[in-house]
Structure 1
Amino acid sequence: MVDTARLVQTAAGGQEALYDGFGGPFAPLDVGLFQDIVVTSAQQYMRFFVETYQQAIEADSPDLLRFLGEGVERLSDFETAWDFAVFAIRECLLQRAAPDVALGKALQLGLRLAASGEGGSFRARTSRPIRPLWGKLILPELTSITVERDLYSATLALDKIRLELWRDGESWAGEEVDELPSIRRANVSAHLVVPAAAPVVGCDCVSMLSTDEVSRLQYLYQDAITLIEEGSPSYLQWVSRVLRYISPIEADPGVMRSGSGPEWPGLAEMSFRCDPIAVAEMLVHECSHQYFNALMFISPVADGSDTTLYFSPVRNCGRPIEMILLAYHAFGNVLLFYRECQFRGVDDSGFCERNEAELLPQLGVLEDALRATSSLTEVGHSLWQPLSALIGSVR
């Protein structure tokens, strides 16, 4: 947990009002606060990571250690910090990862900082071959790299090859370098995680994707974003603010399966053998988790005094109160998305109406647990009480 009193001070309207915008797009979000939470958390995790793994990094890549030591200031930008490469180091710390694992994460972090900044150079080695990312570019497998970067170009000397890269607008380009496919629609700009990139990201992904399948997935996800734009402009902004990567995962036809986590800010794993409206729901659901997880960087949602396992109709098992709150927050936003789509007359063959009728009583069970516990913090309450007021009766 990041300890930063400046970020958790109560606003004039009370702490609940300060965090209501994390509950859903129905309340104004203090975007500056959201970005400060992400950047400050990333900076503190990076300092601790460099301190913890200093000896291991210095033994193999002293130049990389120097670059990372100077790199905290490079994390002053939200777009740089809001990335799996940055928060993977948090997972290293939490899991007390082995030095060789941490070294690979340190290398990807160094590449993230170098690609995002205005310049810099370092040399690094890793004991495990990896295929890291440089922006949207998937580099060839390597165990060593020398980076020379200026404002508009970069030279990367890998084990056996040399890459010349250049800035192409807001992104990077290079000859004979694979890249992540783009997903662009409305004001959403994200990239598709392909199997070659999944290992360095650390997320699940399908094992193979043909060129035709990649194209089909791009159209599917873009169609889903169009549905959100047409059915709920407020949720379009909710999604676009945080979505940066989509990783396609396996599921049977028609089955909705999705996931995300604090170690992958901006990333949503989603099944793809379903209709665009189902994909739109998963986007709303997983992007809701992104706001929840960001708030958890600075404040717990429960004080730990309640060890009861409350029944979750979503998982059909007992769950801790924090997970009950997480589910209510995501599915409550999904229900409001259903209602907006119905109000605006989205052509979904009755999907939203059917699923609202099924979801509402499940939210009632989750809400009973939230009302019963006395362990939620003010931040925790801010993530469900405003939602509850908008949802109305769950009976």
Structure 2
Amino acid sequence: MGVEEEFLLVGPDGSPVAKAAEALAASGNDNRESGTGALEPEFMEEQLETATLPRASLEELAQEIRAGRARAQDAADRVDARVAALATSPVPFTGTTVSRLRYLQARHTFGMTAREQLTSGCHVHVSVVDEVEGVAVLDRIGPWLATLLALSTNSPYWQGEDSDYASFRSQVWARWPTAGPTRRFGTPEAYHAAVDAIVATDTVLDHGMVHFDARLSPKYPTVEIRVADVCLHPDTATLLAALTRGLVETAAREALDDVEVTETYPELLRTAAWRAGRSGLEGDLVSPVTWRPAPAHDVVGQLVAHVRDALVDAGDLESVTELLGRLWSTGGGAAQQRAWFAESGGDLHRVAERAVEVTHS
């Protein structure tokens, strides 16, 4: 498995700064090929993206996540900037699109959706044997993706205001025409036919803009789960990766055992994701077991129970239990940001500054 994290570049006062190209050039990463272990630009000049090397060990992946954050900070240091694991900026901003042809085309085609897309996510890749297994996994994991979003929620503020959401990034991201949950595909042929049909509408620029919550990676032999906010603390990113791998492995085993897929309608999955983005770890989520509201703590427990065998076999159960305990003790990224806001007397710049500290903890 591997993890891609997107980060905000902020100045000394916590405001987003458009210095990605400068930082990459100064650190010698501007001409580096894309791929695992890379430090790359994202859609906006106020962002940097890291990618871990693929790891089987959760301990090694945790080290990779921290190393990627340190690598990004090293690049930012060269241009007097800081790296913050914030899924949206608490401080008002005007985004600057990276000067690449594809990104500039997207800005022209999608207007405000693109201009306001200063959001940072976390993508987890889990290897699969082949596309047959990959599609079987996609057909089974949909009901649990909203729970992964809830665990990661880290974007309560938008343009200087409290959005009243735990993840307002999920709301902004949902503006893209292909974002969100998908139906059951059944076969790789059906999956690719659906993607090709979307591209054929000439609504999106290319296959890379098919932004399903979970998809077959266009680059690697993996399933790519794209639903999460970038996690404030590196431990939460590690937890997210462990649960995601457990979810993929559980689905693959069900497919191998010919466990029948329960049809879940995309509109219900979208509703559950909205609830997760609104409530995060506070209040109720939609339980994939009952499809009724239940406390977030209970729904997360249901997820752990669902993937328990996979966690045990990977040797991850003890680590997941410990990491979940830490997450519950802090309340997660959104809750921490709001607590810092209250402690600072309403200073959103201070919220961003505190986020920088925790990003590298």
Normalised TM-score (structure 2): 0.28
Structure-1-length-normalised TM-score: 0.26
Structure number, greater radius of gyration: 1
